[in-house]
A and B are shown apart, each in its own frame.
Chain A
Amino acid sequence: MKVNVGKKILKANEEYALENRHLLTEQKKLCLNMISSPGSGKTTILIRTINELKDKIKIGVIEGDVQTDLDAERIRATQAPVIQIETKGACHLNAAQVNRALSNLPINNLDLIFIENVGNLVCPSAFELGESGKIAVLSVVEGDDKPAKYPAIFARAKVLLINKLDLLEAGAQVDFDIERVKADTRKLNKGIKIFAISAKTGAGFAGWYDWLEKEVKNLRGR
């Protein structure tokens, strides 16, 4: 006997994601889900962004890691409110975890909430969290073939940050063709904004900050 079911398998996650999205939209908060490999520089990018936009945008952070609250400690040093989620082995954050974290953040006082997902270029992009958009981060040491090899996140992100530009400029032995990354990414994602940056030196951050300020302003104006 065959029975048609037609049910979404990740329905439970989607319901939480929907709840998160309602909450964030109602309160006009921008929420960005950062996805990358481990070690691409997500936390360092966040710390610089929080410090340099301090007077313009109030930022809170949800940190996802498999173990430890080392990243939350680094963010805490900026005085920004931060909630650490330890996934204890899971390779991605889910919407229920983000839902609990959101209720523990003082979101009334914030304009922008960054979710720093678990370092992983594959799994996190399959789980909607209710975010306003995804930010992909790729550092130049990871190789310029990643958008072609791991298309899911590059196809869905609103912004791609190409980090560790200082290594290219310093003439390090890194084979990385920025134009190839841009072309491969845009094949599947015409609207994506791409900024080449160095979280270490601050190079290239102006475009990223302009984009963030515009997004926050658009949301407030609605």
Chain B
Amino acid sequence: MHETMVAQNLLATISDEAVKQNAKPLSAKISCGTLNAINDDALCFAFEAIAKGTNCEGIKLEIEHKPIQGQCKNCNERFDVVISHPYCPECNSENFDLLPDAPLMLEEIEFETE
């Protein structure tokens, strides 16, 4: 449900860029970490609703989910953590540090070219 607030912030950021580029945005690429709890459908639905009547109406959102990484304390391997079965794929150790989750980022916007 916090996707509404995320959508509002996203809309503001894309609008700013659109003004800067003086062009109509067509699509936007977003990335987020595993623990951000972003539901794609909820975010797209919220964005569509609040973008109506703005310069961002009809934008297609592409959302990439980045896996959270761990660092093994046994063999030092860095790896993508599978939340349901968290262990090091290199040495099978369960003793690892969870590294910071990737933040919610607006990566790229595609604009209409005249």
A: which residues have CB within 8 A of B? 1-13, 90-92, 94, 122-123, 125-127, 148, 151-152, 155-156, 187-190
Contact of B9 (CB < 8 Å), options: A6, A10, A152, A190 = A10
Q: Which residues of B contact A (CB under 8 A)?
A: 1-2, 5-6, 9-10, 13, 17, 21, 23, 30, 35-37, 81, 83-84, 86, 94-98, 103-113
Give bound CA distance, A17 to B57, whole Å.
Answer: 30
CB of A2 within 8 A of CB of B2, answer no
Further pairs besides A1-B111, A2-B110: 18, Cβ < 8 Å: A1-B21, A1-B23, A3-B110, A4-B108, A5-B17, A7-B106, A9-B6, A11-B13, A12-B9, A90-B2, A92-B2, A122-B2, A123-B2, A125-B37, A126-B37, A152-B35, A187-B86, A187-B94
A11 to B16, CA, bound (A): 14
Pair A94/B113 contact, Cβ less than 8 Å? no
- Residue of A7, A9, A123, A155 with highest tally of chain B CB at under 10 A: A9
B9 touches A155 (CB 8 A): no
A188 CB contact (under 8 Å) in B9, B36, B86:
B86
Q: Can you list 10 contacts pairing A with B, beta carbon distance less than 8 Å?
A: A1-B21, A2-B108, A6-B106, A7-B106, A10-B9, A123-B1, A123-B2, A125-B35, A126-B37, A148-B84
Chain B residues within 8 Å of A8, by CB: 103-106
Contacts of B21 in A (CB 8 A): 1, 3
Contacts of A126 in B (CB 8 A): 2, 35-37
Instruction: Say yes or no: A7 contacts B13, CB within 8 Å.
Output: yes
Residues on B with C-beta less than 8 A from A1 are 21, 23, 110-113
Q: Which residues of A contact B81 (CB under 8 A)?
A: 188
Chain A residues closer than 8 Å to B108, beta-carbon distance: 2-5
Residue of B nearest to A13 (CB): B9
Q: Is A10 touching B37 in the complex (CB atoms < 8 A)?
A: no
Q: Are A152 and B37 in contact (CB under 8 A)?
A: yes
Tell whether, in the assembled complex, residue B17 and residue A156 are in contact, meaning their CB atoms are under 8 Å apart: no
Residues of chain B with a CB closer than 8 A to A91's CB: 1-2
